[in-house]
Chain A
Amino acid sequence: MRNTPAEAQSCILMVDDNAANLGILSATLNNPQRRILAATSGAEALSIVREVLPDLILLDIVMPGMSGFDVIRELKSNPGTADVPVIFLSALSHPDDVVDGLRAGALDYIVKPFNAEEVEARVTNHLRLRKLELQREKQNARLELLNDRVLQTMREAVMGLDSEGRIVFANQAAVELLRAGDADALIGVYCDSLLDSKEPIDHMLKQTGQPAVHHFEAQTRGDNGEPLPLECSVAAVQGKADAQGSVLVVRDISERVKAANALRSAHDKVLQSHRALQQAQEKLIQAARMESVGQLAAGVAHETKNPLAIIQLGVEYLLDNEPHNETDQQVLEDIAEAVRRADTVVKGLMDFARESRIEAQAVDINRLIETSLSLIRHEARSRDIKVHSRLADKLPKFMADKDKISQVLVNLLMNATQSIGKNGEIDIITCYEKASRELLLDVPDKLHLSDRPLLQIIIQDNGGGIAEHDLRRLFDPFFTTKPVGEGTGLGLSVSRNIVQMHGGWLLLRNRSQKQGAEAILLFPVEENQAT
């Protein structure tokens, strides 16, 4: 290991085979800020240099053994010493000699015999230059380190490109963004092969004039091959006349794009629920209106029926109280008829105000199922859902409100298709038999549905089934697990009401053997109507 000269001191090595010369030189240069070393041969000089790296070497050319040229060649061939400044000090004064000396790598050439002041001035200058040189090197090293730190800590990917668009350096962020193992894997790669941009990068750079920095969007592939949106900036590193390459900065903006998309879809959802709210509000207003019609009807009925009762009884009293002539008789009968008509009108109003009633007629339930199926067939087909029916062929005549039962079937079939979503199967089964004991556990006793054959309609799906904790709430009005706008939560409660109006019961449960849910409709049928 060589020692470097103490910080404050400059170290000068004099090499001359003539000891007298060394003495004069030493006297000339001596100064407390300098440490002066001397060698009387080239070999000695090199061995000193191996120990101590001087800031300046004053080298005689003509020496026995190694010449000054040999020494400088040796110094230049070693990277550790190549930078040490050398001044030739020689009696060879021909301009060719001077040129040879400078060509060999000397910084300066002083002809002997020398002028002491000139030597001193030149040495001082060279030492100062050397000092500056060392400082600059140190600074460069620091800057390089700093540069590297900055690049490596940046979140943005930074790459240097050569004039052909090949990567010459890449920071860690670039390595990560471009899914390269390490920076070396990126070196030499054409940047365009990693980034998809609308316009090739070198095109952008070749555009003359402003702006010096081009911003553009590009894409690369993420871990799973998904496209990652990027925002890039590229600037040419300008030489004197033409570009010597460029610096490219790349930001991954997928989070930003994702956030923007999320914001947009949240906005859509707000709009959607706003619309749903509006609809609900309209329904409420409608319901409130109906309720006040109901109250109005009751009031009208009360206020109308009392006078009607008075007229009715008055007319009847007069009719019974003979004798009257034919005209009186006719008048009284006309009044009685008018009372009957007015009573009918009031009754109609009350019926309208009340929950609508069922209009029962003999219904062929299998036919009704076919009709209801045709209403959902399109929906089922578009979801790749197959519907199979297994309908018993001897079923009793069923007194029911066709439209309302069809409404129930459509509700249940829609629930089944919605639960399946896509690609599945629905089975519809009808039969006329007693309900199983297990099934009857869920049927209110007061319906008296046990111990007698029942008309049963079963709708099975292979969808997601019902979550345990939802089972009790399925029939609550407005209970739904579907997104706003898709479910009202009224289907099952209305359906059960309708079934109850027919004296029957509606159940929904998970299937025991298979995946999915089943809806079961139980209807009592009068025995004598069985065929």
Chain B
Amino acid sequence: MKKRILVIDDEAALTRMMKLNIEASGNYEVRTENSGKNAITAAREFRPDMIFLDVMMPDKSGDDVAADLKQDPVLKHIPFVFLTAIVTNEETGGHASEISGNTFLAKPVKKEELIATIEKFTA
């Protein structure tokens, strides 16, 4: 069975591109969500193996979504990775990196890093 990946970002074009790239590898099924507020509902329905979460979203921030995820009895074990525009690639070392216990990927993210990160978290 294909691993399920949920991508949450208010930028629809970006989620579309992520879906295209991730699914192109043939190993994953991607669902996208463009509203922070609907993130939890989407996750409940889709039951992903991993979540990409944008930090800055207008209706609900990635931080708040993450806090809800950690509280949710069903969703709390699902790993998530933040997508951020304000941490530079240099600071993340060019890879998904830990900052105070959370993993970040700096935008613009390369397909290669995206796949490597997914593989790491869904292994």
Q: Contact residues of A with B, CB < 8 Å? A: 298, 301-302, 304-306, 308-314, 316-317, 320-321, 339, 343, 347, 350-351
Q: Which of B17, B85, B88, B89 contacts A302 (CB 8 A)?
A: B85
Q: Which of B66-102 contact A (CB under 8 A)?
A: 83, 85-86, 88-90
- How many A-B residue pairs lie within 8 Å, measured between CB atoms? 65
Q: A305-B107, A320-B111, A339-B108 in contact; A313/B86 too (CB < 8 A)?
A: no
Q: Contact residues of B with A, CB < 8 Å? A: 11, 13-14, 17-18, 20-21, 24, 56, 83, 85-86, 88-90, 106-111, 114
Contact A310 B17 (CB under 8 A): yes
Contact A316 B111 (CB under 8 A): yes
Contact B89 A313 (CB under 8 A): no
Q: Which residue of A lies closest to B23 (CB)?
A: A317
9 shortest A-B CB distances, which residue pairs?
Answer: A313-B17, A305-B85, A309-B108, A312-B108, A309-B107, A308-B108, A316-B111, A305-B107, A302-B85
Q: Which residue of A lies closest to B14 (CB)?
A: A310
A339 to B14 CA separation, bound complex (whole angstroms): 15
Q: Which of B11, B20, B24 contacts A306 (CB 8 A)?
A: B11
Inter-chain contacts of A351 with B (CB < 8 A)? 88
Contact B88 A350 (CB under 8 A): yes
Q: Which residue of B lies closest to A298 (CB)?
A: B86
Inter-chain contacts of B21 with A (CB < 8 A)? 313, 316-317, 320
Q: A317-B20, A320-B24 in contact; A306/B85 too (CB < 8 A)?
A: yes
A122 to chain B, nearest CB (A): 128
Contact A306 B90 (CB under 8 A): no
Inter-chain contacts of B56 with A (CB < 8 A)? 302
Contact B86 A347 (CB under 8 A): no
Q: Which of A306, A312, A351 has the most CB of B within 10 A?
A: A306
Q: A305-B108, A316-B21, A317-B17 in contact; A310/B11 too (CB < 8 A)?
A: yes
A308 to B85 CA separation, bound complex (whole angstroms): 10
Contact B90 A347 (CB under 8 A): yes
Inter-chain contacts of A347 with B (CB < 8 A)? 88-90
A310 to B20 CA separation, bound complex (whole angstroms): 11
A302 to B87 CA separation, bound complex (whole angstroms): 10
A125 to B36 CA separation, bound complex (whole angstroms): 131
Inter-chain contacts of A302 with B (CB < 8 A)? 56, 85-86
A301 to B11 CA separation, bound complex (whole angstroms): 15
Q: Which residue of B lies closest to A320 (CB)?
A: B24
Contact A309 B109 (CB under 8 A): yes
List 8 extra interface pairs beyond A310-B17, A313-B18, CB under 8 A.
A305-B108, A306-B85, A309-B83, A313-B14, A316-B110, A320-B24, A343-B89, A347-B90
B72 to chain A, nearest CB (A): 27
Inter-chain contacts of B17 with A (CB < 8 A)? 309-310, 313-314, 317
